[in-house]
Amino acid sequence: MFKQAFQQYKKKNPPPDLQDVIDVDLYEENKITSHSWHNLVKPVHISESAFIQSEARLRQAVGLQPEHLWRCYQLSNHPGLLLIRNPFTLSGQRYWIARGLRDYSQPPYVSNLDATKFSPAALSNWWQELQNCSNNGDVKLASRLKVAMRWTTLGYHHNWDTKVYDEAMHSTFPSDLASLCEAFCVTLGYTNFVPQAAIVNYYPIGTCLSGHTDHSELNHSAPLFSYSFGQSAIFLIGGTTLNEKPSAIYLRSGDVLVMSEASRLCYHAVPRVMTTDQEPWNIVESKANTSKENDDVGNMDTNLNNALDSKLFEKVKDELFWQPFNEFIRESRINMNVRQVLPMGMHQIPT
């Protein structure tokens, strides 16, 4: 059942019927509809906790909107799965796209780039090398480099062959991505989550990710946070075996998916990455909003100021600086998939 659905949505010719793909934007537009999935979507109300002020400051520090602008949904046939639409500010989206392309793509993080196919310069700074090639008119190498980057791993590096994490294969987890997870944890009420490993997936339009479960972590009870940016995807979520029929969901730029409880170990896949009908990262924020955002970030507690790279956060608002990122993301999707590896109280992987 799962593989059939995967093939159906992956198909290029003829393109698939998207009628059954759950679209929470369409859900909001048509309260009464004939879509097969309409009754499965359950809006979730996020209530502010007692720590209102610190929560709001933390959200703002990592490029998130006030929580009343988030739209949060559950699917009644996939308990534990949460879809959050619209949590990021527009420059917040730019920041995370730029981090994913410029910084999370280079050492100490581990990438899929093949050392036999690319120069040491490309291996040590893929994004810079891509910019150099584009600027020097080396179109061929630029386009090879562009599609070659498919994943990097941060923190505990996922070993794709053994599927076992190893204490020796570990880099520092980026503190800004950890703060982003913390902001979601406080707002959604997850206590004790420690981000320890992330996979950053880079998907040129037309690529896919086949069905799998994420079970390598020693901790399966902690939620998994999945942040999507750039072009849109169809995401399939099924059951714990391949025999169950999956649901298909649209994931758009800025969407956050939380896989917790029963859905944490369920089969999932990305059969299709396709051109988006919206480019939220390019909607120019009104002067009033932008300067308020700047001021607020400037006034933040010192410890929150460090939550993200504040220089980059400022730079991405500059169109000239943003341009190469914009060109890349026009043809790609980036997904950052964050997990806790160790059970609570365990501080390293047992040998």
Residues that bind ligand AKG (CB under 6 A): 199, 201, 209, 214, 226, 228, 235, 251, 268, 270, 335, 337
Measured N-to-C along each axis, helices 319-329 and 90-98 cross at an angle, to the nearest 10 degrees, of 70
Among Fe ion, ligand AKG, none, residue 22 binds (CB under 5-8 Å by kind): none
Task: Report which residue's Cβ sits closest to Fe ion.
Answer: 214
Tell the smallest beta-carbon distance from residue 330 to Fe ion (Å).
Answer: 25
Contact call for residue 214 and Fe ion (CB under 5 A): yes
Tell the smallest beta-carbon distance from residue 152 to ligand AKG (Å).
Answer: 11
Per-residue burial over 146-165, b = 16 or more CB atoms within 10 Å of its CB, e = otherwise? bebbebbbbbbbbeeeeeeb
214 is in an annotated binding site: yes
Burial of 304 from C-beta contacts in 10 A (0-12 / 13-18 / 19+) = middle
Tell the smallest beta-carbon distance from residue 166 to Fe ion (Å).
Answer: 19
Cα angle 340-281-60, degrees, rounded to a multiple of 5: 55
How many angstroms separate the CA atoms of 343 and 349, rounded? 10
The CA distances from residue 90 to 97, 202, 205, 299, 330, in Å, are: 11, 20, 22, 20, 15
What is the full DSSP assignment across 250-273? EE-TT-EEEE-GGGTTS-EEEEEE
Tell the smallest beta-carbon distance from residue 90 to ligand AKG (Å).
Answer: 21
Among Fe ion, ligand AKG, none, residue 201 binds (CB under 5-8 Å by kind): ligand AKG
Among Fe ion, ligand AKG, none, residue 235 binds (CB under 5-8 Å by kind): ligand AKG
CB 55 within 8 A of CB 85: no
Among ligand AKG, Fe ion, none, residue 266 binds (CB under 5-8 Å by kind): none
Among ligand AKG, Fe ion, none, residue 260 binds (CB under 5-8 Å by kind): none
Tell the smallest beta-carbon distance from residue 239 to ligand AKG (Å).
Answer: 16
Nearer to ligand AKG, 228 or 332 (CB): 228
Tell the smallest beta-carbon distance from residue 226 to Fe ion (Å).
Answer: 8
Among Fe ion, ligand AKG, none, residue 2 binds (CB under 5-8 Å by kind): none
Contact call for residue 217 and Fe ion (CB under 5 A): no
Task: Report which residue's Cβ sits closest to ligand AKG.
Answer: 335
What is the full DSSP assignment across 17-38? P-TTSB-HHHHHH-SS---TTG
Tell the smallest beta-carbon distance from residue 284 to Fe ion (Å).
Answer: 34
Contact call for residue 67 and Fe ion (CB under 5 A): no
First-to-last C-alpha distance (Å) of the chain: 38
Nearer to ligand AKG, 126 or 151 (CB): 151
CB 270 within 8 A of CB 203: yes
Burial of 328 from C-beta contacts in 10 A (0-12 / 13-18 / 19+) = buried
268 is in an annotated binding site: yes
170 is in an annotated binding site: no
Nearer to ligand AKG, 98 or 334 (CB): 334
How many angstroms separate the CA atoms of 234 and 140, rounded? 30
Write the CB contacts of 160 (distance below 8 Å, at least 6 apart in sequence): none
Among Fe ion, ligand AKG, none, residue 270 binds (CB under 5-8 Å by kind): ligand AKG
Contact call for residue 129 and Fe ion (CB under 5 A): no
Binding residues: 212, 214, 268
Binding residues for Fe cation: 212, 214, 268
Residues at the interface with Fe ion (CB under 5 A): 214
